[in-house]
Amino acid sequence: MKHITRDIDPVDAHDLLERVPRACLSFACDDRPHAQPIAFVWCDGRYLVGLPETAHLQPAIDQEVVLLVDEGVHFFDLRAIYIRGHVKPAEAPPDAPVDRLWFEVLPLKTVAWDYGTLREVHGES
């Protein structure tokens, strides 16, 4: 059976972590999902996210969250790295915005995609 994929090795999307075109954090809150733009810093292999101090909704310590760093607006320009994990409070990274509450995302699963690399793969399901 023919199988088409857009998935790439997350290592091939690490440039997104270094230049951060756009980032958001999503988590469950009051029995519904909540997604919010964030400040993001990838420092020493750690995923650090900064929510505005004025944010009304914040993830709880150890809550499962999804961090998405993405770019592109046209179909074949869409690239992203998705990190699902748990959060814990963190110190602000060097040179980071100070008006933020900082958390570290401890990854459980990492996935990346690039629609510009759509291709047929064999032997995968």
The answer to whether residue 125 scores a pLDDT higher than 60 is no
Task: Say if pTM beats, i.e. exceeds, 0.85.
Answer: yes
- Superfamily of domain 3-121 in the CATH hierarchy: Electron Transport, Fmn-binding Protein; Chain A (2.30.110.10)
Helix ranges, the chain (H): 14-19
Q: Where are the domains positioned within the chain? A: 3-121
What 73-78 contacts at long range (C-beta under 8 Å, 24+ apart), as own/partner pairs, is: 75/115, 76/115, 76/116, 76/118, 77/115, 77/116, 78/113, 78/114, 78/115, 78/116
Share of the chain above pLDDT 90, in %: 78
Contact 59, 87 (CB under 8 A): yes
Per-residue pLDDT of 65-99, as tens digits, reads 999 999 998 888 899 999 999 999 999 999 888 89
